[in-house]
Homo-oligomer: A and B are copies of this chain.
Amino acid sequence: MHVPDLDRAERIGMPEAVLCEPKTDEQLAVVLRDLLSAGRPTLCTRLPADRLASLPVDLVEALDHDPASRTATLHGPLATRVGSVAVVAAGTSDHGVAAEAAATLRFSGVDTQLIVDVGVAALWRLEARLDEIRAADVVIVVAGMDAALVSVLGGMIANPVIAVPTSVGYGVAADGMSALHSSLASCAQGIAVMNIDNGFGAACAALRILALAHPS
């Protein structure tokens, strides 16, 4: 049985979340029904549309589902918070992970800009958005393959930067390791990195920083 962790928000400031992918259909239905009954605002991640369809109909109706980010919310969103985040993605194929980060932040009440298709193969597009990016409190950069956007943007801005490597691509890029290692070895100083495809985690790291910068 899933025991909702009722004081989590007070303790480390993270939203209640359920990672749906590794759970069996039975486990997932039990967890979600508990949370539904408890009336607790909850974010479900890694819940694509076809998985949603396998849930009991009352749960499907209760969930506010977003196919692009493969997330759903119960009793959300949380109250609006001060602070802003820019989620910047290199290519079309990185949208899903970027959308997961954005959905997590919006569920958490944070003003979030999603800025996509600014890969380094066309630098002027990135430069055209720089003012917008610099205006955010925290910047999340989502990039696969060579993850060059992480280093280039990291060298242009002074904001806190959180990199999310993605598993887009094939050959040496297939599992996201090329993007992960490239981000960790970035020549731009002070870039912190999340696990591959972990848009949710990047949003949580941003929430920790926002809580410091804008204490409630």
Taken residue by residue from 78 to 100, chain A's Cβ proximity to chain B (1 for < 8 Å, 0 otherwise) reads as 00000000000011110110000
Q: Which residues of A contact B (CB under 8 A)?
A: 1-3, 5, 8, 11-14, 17, 19, 21-24, 27, 31, 46, 90-93, 95-96, 117, 119-123, 125, 137-138, 144-148, 150-152, 154-162, 167-198, 200-201, 203-209, 211-213
Q: Which residues of B contact A122 (CB under 8 A)?
A: 5, 8, 155
Instruction: Output the least CB separation between A163 and chain B (Å).
Output: 9
Q: How many copies does the complex hold?
A: 8
Chain B residues whose C-beta falls within 8 Å of the C-beta of A14 in the assembled complex:
189-190
Q: Is the CB of A182 within 8 A of B184?
A: no
Partner of A146, one of B176, B183, B194: B183
In whole angstroms, what is the CA distance A77 to B123 when docked? Answer: 28
Known A-B contacts A189-B12, A190-B204; the reply to A152 vs B148 at CB < 8 A is yes
- Given A148-B148, A152-B152, CB of A178 within 8 Å of CB of B172: no
Say whether, besides A92-B23, A212-B159, A172 and B185 are in contact (CB < 8 Å): yes
A185 x B152 contact (CB < 8 A): no
A193 touches B192 (CB 8 A): yes
Chain B residues with CB under 8 A of A206: 190
Least CB distance from A157 to B in Å reads 6
Judging by beta carbons under 8 Å apart, are B188 and A207 in contact? no
A91 and B187 form a contact (CB under 8 A): yes
Q: Does the CB pair B212–A196 fall under 8 Å?
A: no
- Chain B: CB-nearest residue to A8: B122
Which residues of the partner chain B approach A123 to less than 8 Å between Cβ atoms?
123, 152, 155-156
Knowing A121-B151, A189-B12, say if A170 contacts B205 (CB, 8 Å): no
CA distance A168 to B23 in the complex (A): 10
Considering residues A138, A144, A160, A180, which has the most beta carbons from chain B within 10 angstroms of its beta carbon? Answer: A160
